Amino acid sequence: MYAIITTGGKQYKVAAGDTIRVMALTGEAGDSVAFDRVLALGGDGEATFGSPLIADARVEGEIVEQVRGPKVIAFKKRRRKNSKRKRGHRQELTLVRITGIPAAAA
């Protein structure tokens, strides 16, 4: 069984046992999280789609680690003006292992 969830403004297709990297969530390693914004559920039979969300559906997961993404450099240069700016950024991310999609949601 798989589900399509949304968190942090992005959509993820997940199944039990998957590990996903999402925008920073509050909590420490080992804490459980639940995603209740489920857009679609699918599996062996027909897929179920919400409009926009499926009521009473949720996906459960466990926080594995709080990490930071790769460094992104924003470099701006204005030619012939002797003007330039260099800034770096690393996004705060959370690794989440999907523990299950409750059968009651299907």
pLDDT digits (tens, 9 = 90+) for 42-84: 988 888 998 899 998 999 999 999 999 999 999 999 999 999 9
0.85 exceeded by pTM: no
| 14, pLDDT greater than 70 | yes
- Reported as a pLDDT band with limits 50, 70 and 90, residue 102 is confident
Mean pLDDT of the chain, nearest integer:
93
Cα 5 to Cα 34: distance, rounded to the nearest angstrom:
11
Q: Which amino acid is at 76?
A: K
Q: Give the containing element (helix H, strand E) for 9.
A: none
What torsion, rounded to 10 degrees, do the Cα atoms 49, 104, 15, 90 define? 80
Q: What distances in angstroms separate CA 54 from CA 34, 61, 64, 79, one per listed residue?
A: 14, 18, 26, 52
> Residue 36, by phi and psi: left (phi above 0), alpha (psi -120 to 50) or beta?
alpha
- pLDDT, residue 84, reads 97
Q: Is the dihedral of CA 4, 99, 63, 90 positive or negative?
A: negative
| 104, pLDDT greater than 60 | no
The pLDDT tens digits of the residues spanning 87-100 come to 999 999 999 999 99
